[in-house]
Structure 1
Amino acid sequence: MSDWSPAAYLKFEDERTRPARDLLAQVPLTAPRRVVDMGCGPGNSTELLVERFAAAEVIGLDNSPGMLAEATQRVPGARFGTADAGAWVPEAGTDLVFANAIYQWVPEHLAVLPRVVAALPEGGVLAVQMPDNMAEPSHVLMREVAASGPWAERLGDAARLPLPPVATYYDALRPAARRVEIWHSIYNHALAGPEAIVEWVKSTGLRPFVDPLSADERELFLGRYLERIAEAYPRLSDGRVLLRFPRLFIVAVR
């Protein structure tokens, strides 16, 4: 895929940062030495970590040069570097690994997360949030449009896999953690209209579908997708639409 766009991602900064705030509120640490923001993106979540843990060394990691450049400008109080979330484990002395909406992109994350917890010191925390929205119309319709057009063969494996059941995460993490908390939250984002939903997912879930397409194909795909989105998300009394967005939260204490 092409590099991530900080500008596109930050069009919905408040909505995207809200789950990070909610996750951070459940982190049972007061004075960690080193905090890592895995998949830091443009630094909106890193900023929260620096504000809460002012005495800690805060490190933001990502594999997107564009996101890291934005984060470096935004959060001068942290340092940033490149890392592959599928292979990375924390170095000694890391008390918190904070991961807001990154591990859903790692196909083998169910094996990766226990390794991250096992590398933490006693009392260390892994805090994870992942979108759990593959059954929502926004993502079902991506797959349907992909399967019904001239691009069907090329986009056959574009969709990311749905998240495993909650019990599967618990059983995977429990051997390495003395406490595992898992919950879901459902956000209902009031957006300007169907076009705003398309803009939202263009910078995230829709990228694997449109990146392989030519400019003309991309325009055709997005046009068909917008038509389906407008049907699935009717306008409210004030003209806005509600984007229902389930998210999975995990806090594991070593």
Structure 2
Amino acid sequence: MADTDWNPESYGRFASLRLRPALDLLMRVGDLPEGDICDLGCGAGAMGLILMSRYDGRRIIGVDSSKAMLEKARGTGGYDELVEADIAQWGPENPPALIFSNAALHWLPEHGQLLPRLAGLLAPGGTLAVQVPHQNRAPSHRLWHDLAEQLFPGRFDPGSGPGVLEPVDYHRILSPLGDVALWETEFYQQLPAAGDGHPVRHFTSSTYARPVLQVLDEAETARLVERYDTAMETAYPLAADGSVLFPFRRLFFTLTVR
């Protein structure tokens, strides 16, 4: 079975594409009260220096459960403090002005309880800013689960994979707590040619497919990957140079507590 920790090198292969939604989210954050800036699920620390630049003089705190990712984040010099913690249970020492979470909360269940808990940690007038992939129904994501069930019935529980609610559900959960902005954007990403398989597989295997691949042995993984690559050739045809234009939908929201 695969290592259960994140692989910063594999994840970072598409760092610039993964950073674009984070920057879009940050641009929608308005004025903040006094307090720290918390990068919740900071990963390898791509946003640390950006947050430090925008919020000069404030403490920037990164929180993640992955030792490997935190080690990479430490090397960026973008954080005053890095905390290894389960972000579902994390709590700050002092109420932060901003809890910023880019592409992390979809790994956690029970958003109906999680988001009010996070909002309750904020300083008065503070903001919770979140981006999560909203791609689960697209072939790039759905076929990891469908093919795993076809090839290895019962080996993988889809409920253990990442997931998000519908936008209307997030609005229902968040609107009683403060002022909500909610939107979606579909990013058209040009993925470069890959020498060993379809580019979409390389993009998704380091994130969404991790729970699937962790329950398979090497031979089973090879079999699944072969089937997935074949399916991606139809779903996302390659250009003449081997690259692919890959549409990827993401869901954003900000909540400013009253």
Pick the TM interval, shorter chain. Answer: over 0.9
Determine the structure 2 residue equivalent to 1:64: 66
Is 2:20 the partner of 1:18? Answer: yes
Distance 1:252 1:90, change over 3 A: farther
Distance 1:236 1:209, change over 3 A: same
Determine the structure 1 residue equivalent to 2:161: 160
Distance 1:122 1:30, change over 3 A: closer
The answer to whether the Cα contact below 8 Å between 2:33 and 2:126 also exists between their aligned partners in 1 is no
Q: In 1, Cα distance between the equivalents of 2:35 and 2:100?
A: 14
Q: In 1, Cα distance between the equivalents of 2:40 and 2:204?
A: 21
Determine the structure 1 residue equivalent to 2:112: 110
Determine the structure 2 residue equivalent to 1:206: 209
Question: Could you tell me how far 1:242 is from its partner in structure 2?
Answer: 1.3
Name the SS for the 2:5 alignment partner: coil
The answer to whether the Cα contact below 8 Å between 2:139 and 2:235 also exists between their aligned partners in 1 is yes
Determine the structure 2 residue equivalent to 1:247: 250
Identity over the aligned pairs, expressed in percent? 33
Matches within 5 A, 1:180-191: 180-191=180-191
Question: Could you tell me how far 1:240 is from its partner in structure 2?
Answer: 2.1
Question: Could you tell me how far 1:244 is from its partner in structure 2?
Answer: 1.0
* CA RMSD, 1 decimal: 1.8
The answer to whether the Cα contact below 8 Å between 1:129 and 1:249 also exists between their aligned partners in 2 is yes
Name the SS for the 1:189 alignment partner: strand
Q: In 2, Cα distance between the equivalents of 1:161 and 1:58?
A: 27
Deviations 1:143-166 (A, max 9, x none): 2211111x2211143663642221
Determine the structure 2 residue equivalent to 1:172: 173
The answer to whether the Cα contact below 8 Å between 1:5 and 1:67 also exists between their aligned partners in 2 is yes
The letter of the residue matching 1:189 is: Q
Determine the structure 1 residue equivalent to 2:95: 93
The letter of the residue matching 2:186 is: I
Question: Could you tell me how far 1:107 is from its partner in structure 2?
Answer: 1.0
Q: TM-score scaled by structure 2?
A: 0.92
Deviations 1:175-198 (A, max 9, x none): 222x10000011010112462211
Q: TM-score scaled by structure 1?
A: 0.93
Determine the structure 1 residue equivalent to 2:140: 138
Is 2:232 the partner of 1:229? Answer: yes
The letter of the residue matching 2:118 is: V
Q: In 1, Cα distance between the equivalents of 2:255 and 2:211?
A: 30
Q: In 2, Cα distance between the equivalents of 1:232 and 1:73?
A: 38
Q: In 1, Cα distance between the equivalents of 2:242 and 2:8?
A: 28
Q: In 2, Cα distance between the equivalents of 1:221 and 1:159?
A: 18
Count of matched residue positions in the alignment of Structure 1 and Structure 2: 252
Question: Could you tell me how far 1:238 is from its partner in structure 2?
Answer: 4.9
